[in-house]
Structure 1
Amino acid sequence: MKLKILIVDDNEEIRALLHATLDLADAFEVHEARDGPAAVALAATLNPNLVLMDIMMPGAFEGDEACRQIKAAAAAAGREIPKVILISAKPLDQIKADAKTCGADLFIAKPFGPAQLVDTISNLYRPS
């Protein structure tokens, strides 16, 4: 069974690059959203296993708030709570702080390579 992944980034080129990278692995069903509110709405119907979320996005709220809302909505609905990997170009200490406060499972600092992305996802779902 393929993992259902929601990519959330305001930059269309980054979304396309992430999507293409994950398509090459052939282990994921990939969906996209361009901002936090769209991600929250799509996650409610899609029920993704994993959300790859950029932190800094324009609009009503950023990725850390979208992370909180997606996890809270899944919990309130009694659904599986998706794992969230934050992606950011912020300084590493800020990414760590954002991940901790919003309940993200992991984070990746930009720039990163395709192998690092796929390895991070695989490690997150590897049995203990």
Structure 2
Amino acid sequence: MTHRILIVDDQPDIRKLVNLTLQHLEDAELHEADNGMDGWQMARRLRPDLVLLDVMMPGELDGFQVCEKIKKDPELGPGTRIILLTARAQKEDLELGERVACDAYLTKAFSPLKLLDLVDDLLSRHG
């Protein structure tokens, strides 16, 4: 079964690191967006199994807002796992991540192995 994974981050080097890390997964179809609005629109079109979502992005939608929109969308929310990627790991940020129903929170700079383990775990729960 192929898993669609959407990587949404405004920093090209982070997208590249995540992409290179996840290329090792079997049956992964990787897509990228560089801002929240494009990420939201791509999520609606692609219906990804997993979204890796930067929290702090310029433009109309930040990562928390995109996460909330995906989770509240009846066609996306129930089946879409979301990992929030952020340099911000204060208690308030973690609480906001919980409020918007993210599935996991990974602080930058993260270990590629930790990312792979987390993605593998969430996709295995996806079915």
Rounded to whole Å, the distance in 1 between the matches of 2:116 and 2:80 is 17
Which of 94, 98, 104 in structure 2 is aligned with 1:106? Answer: 104
CA distance in structure 2 between the aligned counterparts of 1:36 and 1:92, rounded to whole angstroms: 21
Q: Tell me whether 20-29 or 81-90 shows the greater mean CA deviation.
A: 20-29
Match of 1:119 in 2: 117
**Cα distance in 1 for residues equivalent to 2:63 and 2:76:** 22
Structure 1 residues 126, 92: CA separation in 2 closer, same or farther (over 3 Å shift)? farther
Shift of 1:92: 4.1
Q: Which amino acid aligns with 1:86?
A: L
Task: Give the TM-score normalised by the residue count of structure 1.
Answer: 0.88
Distance 1:11 1:55 in 2: 12
Structure 1: runs of 5+ lacking an equivalent: none
Counterpart for residue 48 of structure 2: 48
RMSD of aligned alpha carbons = 1.7
TM-score w.r.t. length of structure 2: 0.89
Q: Is the 8 A contact 1:6 1:50 kept in 2?
A: yes
Tell me which residue corresponds to 2:93: 95
The 5 Å alignment of 1:3-18 reads 3-18=3-18
Quick one: structure 1 residues 114 and 38, their matched pair in 2 at CA, closer, same or farther if it must change by over 3 Å?
A: same
Supply the distance in 2 between the matched residues of 1:118 and 1:13 (Cα, whole angstroms): 17
Give matches, 1:21-40, under 5 Å. 21-40=21-40
1 CA distance for matches of 2:106 and 2:8? 14
Q: In the TM superposition, what whole-angstrom CA distance separates every residue of 1:73-106 from its partner, at most 9, and x where no partner exists? A: 2x1x477531101010002423311211111011
Which has a greater percent of helix? Answer: 1
Task: Give the Cα separation in 1 of the matches to 2:56 and 2:77.
Answer: 27
Number of residue equivalences:
125
